[in-house]
Amino acid sequence: QVQLLESGGGSVQAGGSLRLSCAASDYTSERACMAWFRQAPGKEREGVAALTTTINSYPYYADSVKGRFTISQDNARNTLYLQMNSLEPEDTAMYYCGADYSGFICDGTWARRGRYHYWGQGTQVTVSS
């Protein structure tokens, strides 16, 4: 059973930075589309960024985070990262890691929640003004 464990959330002031990590255990697929989503109170879960777990894969980002967030991976450690810079109060949310191990790469459907079969428990990010 695949397990995803997020960490790295916290409380920061606007303009600050955080680095989220998502450790994946017990997966057997050599290629997966892995993504970060977030959900603010009263809002739907939305895609933030996604990356296929292969070398030199193309990263996808939501327009709201382009230029501020960077998704990356460490395949040796089965870990996905999200570096978040220039944080804004609007970034406040619970951040979730999702994984699609069907073998399909991330593409234009990356932000669809339904393609991800596994989810972590989330890590809270709070940005104060």
Q: Scan for tokens 């069907």, then name that residue.
A: 102
What pLDDT, on a 0 to 100 scale, did the predictor assign at position 108? 95
What pLDDT was estimated at residue 25? 86
Query: Which tokens hold the place of 9?
Result: 């959330």
In angstroms, the CA 125 to CA 46 distance is 15
Residue 97 above 90 pLDDT? yes
pLDDT of residue 27: 61
Q: Which residues does residue 18 pair with via DSSP β-bridges, in sequence order?
A: 84
Contact by Cβ (8 Å): 29, 40: no
